[in-house]
């Protein structure tokens, strides 16, 4: 651990650059500065006092989720302020409740307390009005955390085991429906499945497609395009990835095929330059000898056994030079390089989410073992600039 004085010097240099040339500061540099500040704060903390930081974070999240349900962020004027009494009247809540819920959120800087029980927005609270990330936060709170906060009880009831089942896990246990999958349970109530669909569609806007694998360069010289598709997006949802790839590299030639369940494809209109094809990725891939089979943000939802089955369904269709491109997170291992020198927290809390219903985020070692079981080998990892998002390029073994 660097000395406090050297840490402070590094922070001062970074702050000076932010002040003098803010446009020249990359996302990676900004995140490194934030993490330096966090490390410095940790050095200054008393270990026992730091225990209570967990309670602060938990209660702030719980209160925030309650205020989102009451539509408090959108009920506060964008300019100026509002009293607890007027805010309570707008959202149909007790004034005393608003005051109690808001206390920790003003102290932690989400909202601004500008007078006695008088509130105004900050740049952070405004993000909860229409940010894409909010829908995903609500889903995590309502469907995941409500069950994983019961892990001690779950372990006492079932033993402390890792989740390797889609139908017997903390989520199915917490819902009292062991034997059903997450999707079967969440589909039982229109409100819950609607929340899930919104959260998944808005996540497409927040998780990068580009900036990792250079589709335009790697596929520019693809041959025999009369007989071979250029790229097949397996489980590609509403075509978000292929649309971005086509817009980024408009000169790419060859067929682009979007595969998903019929109910998904039927919900979208025509996509210029993209073919739609109904397909269940647990069955054999019908498009033979494509140059690239792309599967993004799907495999982390499934157990290792399911993922092997999905990948094995692609293998018979591959030509010797075909590649499978897997868009997923890669959880850092001991000694592994962090993209941009940044410790990305997302793979850790996302793995917690996946653990709840049987999926998982995976390390490089996990991926190597998984693809090998399917008759494939990891050729290269194409990382993002400053996060654990990556594209894993996989070839025939």
pLDDT at 204: 66
Residue 312 shares a structural domain with residue 248? yes
pLDDT at 61: 98
Specify if 36 maps to a domain.
no
pLDDT at 130: 78
Residue 215 shares a structural domain with residue 359? yes
C-beta of residue 385 within 8 angstroms of C-beta of residue 341: no
C-beta of residue 388 within 8 angstroms of C-beta of residue 347: yes
User: What does the H/E/C string look like for 21-49?
Assistant: CHHHCCHHHHHHHHHHHHHHHHHHCCHHH
**Which residues are catalytically annotated?**
300
> Taking the model in full, what pTM does it have?
0.91
- Beta strands at 231-234 and 275-278: parallel, antiparallel or unpaired: unpaired
Quote the distance between the C-alpha of residue 203 and its chain's center. 7
Residue 112 shares a structural domain with residue 249? no
C-beta of residue 60 within 8 angstroms of C-beta of residue 100: no
Specify if 58 maps to a domain.
no
Q: What CA–CA distance (Å, rounded) separates 331 from 339?
A: 11
Residue 227 shares a structural domain with residue 362? yes
pLDDT at 254: 97
Quote the distance between the C-alpha of residue 36 and its chain's center. 24
Boundary-marking domain end, from 90, 109, 129:
129
Specify if 392 maps to a domain.
yes
Specify if 43 maps to a domain.
no
pLDDT in tens, the chain (397 residues): 556 777 777 777 777 777 777 777 788 888 888 888 888 888 889 999 999 999 999 999 999 999 999 999 999 999 999 999 999 999 999 999 999 999 999 999 999 999 999 999 999 999 999 777 899 999 999 999 999 999 999 999 998 999 999 999 999 999 999 999 999 999 999 999 999 988 887 776 667 899 999 999 999 999 999 999 999 999 999 999 999 999 999 999 999 999 999 999 999 999 999 999 999 999 999 999 999 999 999 999 999 999 999 999 999 999 999 999 999 999 999 988 888 888 899 999 999 999 999 999 999 999 999 999 999 999 999 999 888 999 999 999 9
Residue 109 shares a structural domain with residue 73? yes
Q: What CA–CA distance (Å, rounded) separates 325 from 174?
A: 35
Specify if 21 maps to a domain.
no
Residue 118 shares a structural domain with residue 135? no
Residue 252 shares a structural domain with residue 311? yes
Tell which residue, 192, 208, 191, has the closest CA to residue 245: 208
Domain of 242, CATH number, reads 3.40.50.150
State the residue range of the domain holding 328: 207-396
Specify if 3 maps to a domain.
no
Q: Total domain count for the chain?
A: 3
Cα angle 375-352-346, degrees, rounded to a multiple of 5: 85
Cα angle 344-345-348, degrees, rounded to a multiple of 5: 125
Report pLDDT digits (tens) over 386-396: 889 999 999 99
- Beta strands at 275-278 and 256-260: parallel, antiparallel or unpaired: parallel
C-beta of residue 296 within 8 angstroms of C-beta of residue 209: yes
Specify if 147 maps to a domain.
yes
Report pLDDT digits (tens) over 207-247: 789 999 999 999 999 999 999 999 999 999 999 999 999 99
Residue 245 shares a structural domain with residue 319? yes
**Token pair listed for 247:** 């817009």
pLDDT at 2: 59
Q: What CA–CA distance (Å, rounded) separates 177 from 168?
A: 9
99 burial via Cβ count (<10 Å: 0-12, 13-18, 19+): middle
Report pLDDT digits (tens) over 127-143: 999 777 899 999 999 99
Residue 376 shares a structural domain with residue 262? yes
Q: What CA–CA distance (Å, rounded) separates 365 from 388?
A: 15
pLDDT at 14: 72
Boundary-marking domain end, from 176, 205, 234:
205
Specify if 63 maps to a domain.
no
Boundary-marking domain end, from 205, 224, 251:
205
Question: In sequence order, what are the residues at sequence separation of 6 or more whose Cβ sits closer than 8 angstroms to the Cβ of residue 112?
Answer: 81, 106, 119, 120, 121, 122, 125
Residue 75 shares a structural domain with residue 153? no
Place of tokens 């069955």: 283
Residue 185 shares a structural domain with residue 275? no
Residue 114 shares a structural domain with residue 155? no
**Token pair listed for 79:** 């300019």
Report pLDDT digits (tens) over 164-218: 999 999 999 999 999 999 999 999 999 999 999 888 877 766 678 999 999 999 9
Question: In sequence order, what are the residues at sequence separation of 6 or more whose Cβ sits closer than 8 angstroms to the Cβ of residue 163?
Answer: 169, 170, 303, 355, 356, 357, 358, 360
pLDDT at 206: 67
pLDDT at 205: 63
Domain of 84, CATH number, reads 1.10.10.10
Tell which residue, 158, 128, 147, 151, has the closest CA to residue 63: 128
């Amino acid at each position: 651990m660097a000395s406090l004085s050297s840490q402070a010097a590094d922070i001062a240099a970074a702050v000076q650059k932010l002040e003098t040339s803010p446009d020249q500061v990359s996302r990676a540099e900004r995140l490194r500065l934030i993490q330096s500040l966090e490390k410095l704060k940790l050095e200054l903390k008393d270990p026992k006092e730091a225990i209570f930081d967990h309670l602060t974070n938990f209660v702030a999240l719980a209160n925030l989720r309650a205020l989102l349900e009451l539509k408090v962020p959108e009920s506060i004027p964008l300019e100026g302020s509002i009293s607890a009494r007027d805010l309570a009247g707008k959202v149909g809540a007790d004034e005393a409740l608003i005051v109690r819920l808001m206390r920790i959120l003003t102290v932690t800087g989400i909202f601004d307390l500008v007078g006695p029980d008088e509130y105004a927005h900050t740049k952070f609270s405004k993000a909860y009005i229409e940010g894409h990330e909010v829908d995903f936060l609500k889903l995590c709170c309502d469907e995941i955390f409500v069950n994983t906060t019961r892990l001690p009880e779950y372990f006492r009831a079932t033993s402390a085991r890792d989740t390797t089942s889609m139908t017997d896990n903390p989520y199915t246990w917490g819902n009292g429906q062991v034997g059903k999958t997450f999707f079967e349970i969440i589909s039982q109530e229109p409100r819950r499945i609607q929340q899930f669909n919104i959260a998944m569609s808005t996540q497409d806007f927040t998780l990068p497609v580009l900036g990792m694998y250079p589709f335009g360069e790697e596929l520019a010289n693809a041959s025999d395009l009369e007989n071979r598709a250029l790229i097949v997006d397996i489980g590609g949802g509403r075509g978000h990835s292929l649309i971005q790839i086509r817009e980024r590299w408009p000169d790419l030639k060859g067929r682009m095929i979007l595969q998903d369940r019929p109910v998904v494809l039927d919900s979208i209109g025509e996509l210029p330059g993209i073919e739609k094809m109904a397909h269940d990725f647990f069955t054999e891939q019908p498009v033979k000898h494509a140059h690239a089979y792309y599967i993004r943000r799907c495999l982390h939802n499934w157990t290792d056994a399911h993922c092997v089955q999905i990948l094995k369904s692609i293998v018979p269709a591959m030509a010797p030079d075909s590649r499978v491109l897997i868009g997923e997170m890669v959880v850092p291992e001991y000694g592994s390089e962090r993209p941009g020198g940044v410790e990305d927290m997302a793979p850790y809390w996302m793995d917690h989410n996946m653990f709840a219903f049987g999926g998982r985020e995976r390390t490089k070692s996990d991926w190597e073992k998984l693809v090998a079981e399917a008759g494939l080998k990891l050729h290269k990892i194409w990382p993002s600039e400053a996060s654990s998002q990556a594209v894993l390029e996989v070839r025939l073994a």
